[in-house]
């Protein structure tokens, strides 16, 4: 079973994606199932070791929190964008990383980029620091603390790392 | 009920449109590459988000069944948008593009 389905959840997601794209019918269910089994096998060498999700409720809470932050931050950034440009204080901020796992770091950097006002610009070679560009930052230390506490902490909890 | 759905769809389209517009205004107004990078991340989150919810509501209502194509658009956008922003930022640092006056901190050498 493990040989045939190395990534069961990937197979499930691929199958659902196929059905959502093409509509639900027996034919597409079969075709989608075949693809969902074959594709993970074919792309196996390219997949990193993905850590297990330990805390499913935590994952849900995290997604909701990020959605809420996107909403609120969008408003704040909209005001900044429309306001006087010369009052902006953009800045590069370095965030020391506690996460070690590649996949978990990817989740963190994507989250930082999706929430308006911050874009993750680079991760250091040894994966210990994250460079973030903020559109408007008055207190860099506070931004670092916020990213660590609001996003990195929960991600650490969710994945086993 | 029809009227309610119509209103909801209209509100979401307008909200989505406004945020997409603000994202574009940001692209035009902001002074340097790094700050301009923030425009598209806004447009893809709330701008596309609002439009997609409107589309989902409209087609689910019209065709009397839940339509979930839009969920896939959201999924793909949320996976790809941060990656492209990241690559753009890295390229900008590599080329050592000039920063807006008053920018705090330093980009890394590439």
A51 falls within a domain: no
Kindly state whether residues A39 and A67 are assigned to the same domain. no
Pairing of strands A91-96, A129-134: antiparallel
Per residue of chain A (161 residues), give pLDDT as tens: 667 777 788 888 889 888 888 877 889 899 999 998 888 888 888 877 777 777 788 889 999 999 898 888 888 888 888 888 888 888 888 888 888 888 888 889 989 988 878 888 888 888 888 898 888 888 888 888 888 888 988 888 888 65
B86 falls within a domain: yes
B26 lies within 8 A of chain A by CB: yes
A160 lies within 8 A of chain B by CB: no
In three-state secondary structure terms, B92 is helix
B62 falls within a domain: yes
B27 lies within 8 A of chain A by CB: no
B104 to A137: CB separation less than 8 angstroms, yes or no = yes
B100 falls within a domain: no
- Name chain A contacts of B15, Cβ cutoff 8 Å: none
Question: Distance between CA atoms of A86 and A54, rounded to whole angstroms?
Answer: 46
- Between B35, B79, B85, which is nearest A90 by CB? B35
Kindly state whether residues A71 and A136 are assigned to the same domain. yes
Kindly state whether residues A94 and A123 are assigned to the same domain. yes
Torsion, Cα of B96, B98, B102, B106 (10° steps): 0
B70 falls within a domain: yes
Chain B, 35-54: which have a CB under 8 Å from a chain A CB?
Answer: 35, 37-39, 41-42, 45-46, 49
Kindly state whether residues A21 and A66 are assigned to the same domain. no
Q: For A131-140, how does the pLDDT look when each residue is reduced to its tens digit (9 = 90+)?
A: 988 888 888 8
Place of tokens 């506690």: A98
- Name chain A contacts of B32, Cβ cutoff 8 Å: 90
**Structural domain for B11, as ranges:** 2-94
A1 falls within a domain: no
Q: Is the predicted ipTM greater than 0.95, yes or no?
A: no
A135 to B38: CB separation less than 8 angstroms, yes or no = yes
B63 lies within 8 A of chain A by CB: no
Residue-level pLDDT at B94: 85
B100 to A74: CB separation less than 8 angstroms, yes or no = no
Kindly state whether residues A153 and A76 are assigned to the same domain. yes
- A159 token code pair: 């994945």
- Between B30, B37, B69, which is nearest A119 by CB? B37
B42 falls within a domain: yes
DSSP state string for A44-112: GGG---PPPB--HHHHHHHHHHHHHHHHHHHHHHHHHHHS-GGG---EEEEEE-----HHHHHHHHHHH
Q: For A89-113, how does the pLDDT look when each residue is reduced to its tens digit (9 = 90+)?
A: 888 888 888 888 888 888 899 899 8
Kindly state whether residues A80 and A148 are assigned to the same domain. yes
Q: Tell me, what CATH number does B39's domain have? A: 1.10.287
What is the tally of structural domains in chain B? 1
**Structural domain for A14, as ranges:** 8-46
């Amino acid at each position: 079973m493990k040989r045939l389905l190395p990534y069961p959840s990937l197979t499930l997601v691929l199958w659902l994606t196929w059905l959502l794209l093409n509509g639900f019918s027996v034919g597409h269910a079969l075709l989608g199932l075949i693809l969902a089994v074959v594709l993970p096998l074919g792309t196996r060498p390219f997949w990193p070791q993905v850590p297990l999700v330990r805390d499913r409720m935590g994952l849900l809470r995290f997604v909701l929190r990020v959605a809420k932050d996107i909403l609120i931050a969008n408003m704040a950034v909209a005001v900044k964008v429309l306001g006087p440009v010369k009052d902006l204080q953009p800045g590069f901020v370095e965030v020391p990383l506690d996460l070690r796992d590649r996949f978990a770091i990817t989740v963190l950097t994507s989250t930082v980029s999706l929430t308006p006002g911050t874009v993750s610009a680079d991760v250091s070679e040894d994966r210990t620091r994250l460079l973030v560009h903020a559109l408007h930052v008055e207190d860099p230390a506070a931004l670092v603390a916020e990213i660590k506490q609001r996003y990195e902490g929960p991600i650490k909890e969710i994945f086993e790392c | 009920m029809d009227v309610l759905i119509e209103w909801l769809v209209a509100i979401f389209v307008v909200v989505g449109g406004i945020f997409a517009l603000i994202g574009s205004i940001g692209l035009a107004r902001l002074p340097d590459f790094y700050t301009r990078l923030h425009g598209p991340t806004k447009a893809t989150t709330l701008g596309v988000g609002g439009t997609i919810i409107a589309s989902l509501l409209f087609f689910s209502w019209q065709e009397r069944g839940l339509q979930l194509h839009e969920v896939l658009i959201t999924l793909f956008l949320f996976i790809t948008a941060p990656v492209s922003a990241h690559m753009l930022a890295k390229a900008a640092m590599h080329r050592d593009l000039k920063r807006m006056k008053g920018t705090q901190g330093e980009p890394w050498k590439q």
